[in-house]
Structure 1
């Protein structure tokens, strides 16, 4: 096993730092590459993956005698069809790369609710797009659309050995929606509670604030969440934090304006990327964390909130509800009233205990070790 090499294909993203840290704990036979061509990474810090172009991938694999390739998110899926057949291929999905691809049948109307969609559409019209940006953007969209038609999901997944969705519930949904799906399931998770998600000052004051959403993406359905807060929560004495540093900046500005209009100075848009310690200090000041996605998203924030004994509110259509139920974690949905009776069903201490069982440093170490063992055994069988 020690002689086999694993290649991790990572984007310039904060989660890639967790990949490097957690896999380096299990030996020195990991290589890391990034297709982003940049002098300075925005999110990758403290280490540096090799930078290559997609067309150079097979040459890199051959040069470094790679046996296992793990894609941490996979947008240009056709690339797996070009890989040598003796490789073990793993797709660690991040949600955005497999919901529209494998789970679209569950969302015939899309994942953006009506009021938020109106704001999102208006924000796109405000963009100052140069001719070159328009042409290059149109080319990328058209290219990906054509390739997705040529390389059907059946053809792509036939080249993938293992699928690692964010939560096991999504694997079940993928299999239910796609009878042809043959990838085996593997469990692995990004980050640990102790090092990433619950890092804050233990004496931080819990001042009853509210957090809404996790990013500047319309799948947060911010506007409907704002309407819920305005009608159902005593918000006048609270700060309403809204993370908007990650995603579409034009949409972020539109959501900032909408929040300020509805809540005035109580609304605090987080427009710049914060380090995890600073961000978790803000999170620790909140009692209600509201996520109005109808797909799985913002799980890192939810994990942090559960560990900090916060009340989580979700859209009832979110598959995370099923996952939380399976793990005996209590939460509320946005079709419920927020009052003493509904809040009393939330067992915060039990929630913390259960999420520690699933996402502690020791739990992630066990998952990582198991993934390494399974993929190495599979690679030995392919040799």
Structure 2
């Protein structure tokens, strides 16, 4: 077994004092303002002058905004979160230029999670306590698990979700020990009836986290719709809706963490489908179920955990006909509707649709790993 240094984030919940709540609220507001104003300036420069504004230019603009009398309040919070907002915007543009995401959107107050990132020169970590810049008291953190021995945080991100909970994510360098190499490989087929089907024949049932609270969520949303906009009762009703959403997300994340950790521990190679979830959710009949399955989040967990522990995740081409191909003889059926869950190949092999697809994904993943090529079938 070998070890290596990796950057890992440890997330904890904390309970700020009244003074810290006010200070964090001002910081969140300043971060949102800087992000939106920089986005507006970059959009204007491109539409009117056909010119791109770099991160260095936007950083100079931030300095000027702090000197202006109208926005002199930008000097109240620490400089770190404001510079981090510009870096996040630059990262959003980089992903847009690489066609990974859409064009950056403006941040709206109260519509999403609010966060602020502090670099190492904007906080102190001493005796197991974290004190943010311009705060007199350390944060009251619930240390649900200890940080690695001798860890020195390089940055922390403080966030507040729609439910009103505060969390802190601490980024540290940690030494991970790669799991003992084993010869097992597994193919994973994503689905809705069965959340995941493995090439070993095992099926993981779909917990349907959103469906369990659907009636309660619908009732809370009806109550919210009847409240007057801007009233305190509407704010209370909005918080009730956010609590249900948070409970659903927490259950889903916990289930995916346990499943992904298990796969990484038990298998050296994990073959998955390269699904285009963005296009799949356009199907109005399946959009809710696909979003609840959270296939993209599961793939992300598999990839970073495999990188930590010396495993390999292989993504098979999304156009590979894994469901229509016989895993015994390799014959490809030209047509097979979605309602067909079991079928018999002319070679005599009887297949469960999902298990057969998982076996083909495993074989295709091993082929990609060995040959370094795609597995898209020929157009002929």
Q: Could you state the TM-score of these two structures normalised by the residue count of structure 1?
A: 0.28
Could you say which structure has the larger radius of gyration?
2
